[in-house]
Homo-oligomer: A and B are copies of this chain.
Amino acid sequence: MLENFEAALRRSNDLIQSGLEDRLYSNYSAELTTAMRYAVAGGKGLRGFLVLASANIHGIPEARASRPAEAIECLHAYSLVHDDLPCMDDDDERRGQPTVHVKWDEATAVLAGDALLTEAFRLVAETPGEPRAILRLTHSLAMAAGAHGMVGGQAMDIAAETAEVPLSLDEITKLQAGKTGALITWSAMAGPRMAGADTAAMKTYGDALGLAFQIADDILDVEGDAATVGKATQKDADAGKATFVSLLGLDAAKVRAAELVDEACAALDPYGADVDVLRAAARFVVTRNK
């Protein structure tokens, strides 16, 4: 099952990367084009996969879902480029390659991130479909990515680094729902949003998957091998940051992640057996080793 999923993930990522090769460029600066493409390459493409799969089970063909899938990968890539900056997490390596500000410079990293964020909105607004549905898809992406979602969670994370009291479990759950969860949930909900269908089941699935993903990330930070993970590990532990592992303990964190995978799978019950690939995706996020 996981093998099938991993093949499906690779196939979807190839499709997304090939679309971005066509559509991601600047007519002003060849260097900006190169830096943007460098930043989107090399990831697993999980968020884009979720968009394509959730569209598929709602009867939206790949040709219509490819724009929002490309958009979410641009948006995710921008967040990594800016997070890696010296004034943020100061990471030199990402996906086993030098980060954008190491390969070029900080100015290029700021601009490539800004451009990827902006092009994400261009791409999602180009999605073929009923204008009201596409407008909602676009608006919800801004809600997920901005001050009420990813950037908000990231700001809360930065503030926590200098706070005297470490975050509680409730606080870290809220933080991660913004920082990591919002884009994953948006991806899962993209299908029903495009189709004008009920989004509740896919929201429950996405929320559980996003939280499981982050708990697995915290476990990887402790247990993972830097060479396999493709970035520095033990960073959070060394920094004394509150994480799901530091708050729950390693064993309880693993149990919680497994429960969340079950919750995510249970949310898919209304869809029957057709969505086994999404169940496999949920299992994948907690078993991946990078």
Give me the interface of A with B, judged by CB distance under 8 Å. Answer: 24-29, 31-33, 36, 78, 82, 85, 87-88, 105-108, 110-111, 113-115, 117-119, 121-122, 125-126, 131-132, 134-135, 138-139, 141-143, 145-148, 151-156, 158-159, 174-175, 178
Selected contact of A107 from candidates B24, B78, B106, B158, CB within 8 Å: B158
In the complex, which of the residues B85, B139, B152 contacts A28, with contact meaning CB atoms closer than 8 Å? B152
CA distance A32 to B110 in the complex (A): 18
Given A118-B117, A142-B118, are A158 and B108 also a contact pair (CB < 8 Å)? yes
Copies in the complex: 2
- Assess whether B122 is in contact with A139, with CB atoms less than 8 Å apart: yes
- Measured CA separation A163–B217 after assembly (Å): 42
B131 touches A26 (CB 8 A): no
Interchain CA distance A143-B23 in the complex, whole Å: 12
Contact sample, A vs B, 15 pairs, CB 8 Å cutoff: A26-B147, A27-B148, A28-B153, A29-B159, A32-B147, A87-B110, A88-B110, A111-B151, A114-B146, A118-B142, A118-B145, A121-B139, A125-B139, A131-B135, A135-B135
Q: Which of A26, A87, A121, A148 has the most CB of B within 10 A?
A: A121
Judge whether A117 and B114 touch: CB under 8 Å. Answer: yes
- Say what secondary structure dominates the interface of chain A: helix
Whether B82 pairs with A110 at a CB distance below 8 angstroms is yes
| Contacting residues, chain B, for A143 (C-beta < 8 A) | 122
A118: chain B residues within 8 A (beta carbon): 117, 142, 145-147, 151
User: Across the interface, do B142 and A28 meet the contact criterion of CB distance under 8 Å?
Assistant: no
- Asked if B142 and A121 sit within 8 Å, CB to CB, the answer is yes
Q: Hey, which chain B residues are within 8 Å of A85, CB to CB?
A: 106, 110
- Min C-beta distance of A82 to chain B, whole Å: 6
Cβ contacts under 8 Å, A131 to chain B = 131-132, 134-135
Verify B132–A26 contact, CB threshold 8 A.
no
Cβ–Cβ < 8 Å partners of A28 in chain B? 147-148, 152-153, 155-156, 174-175, 178
Min CB distance A211 to B, Å, is 16
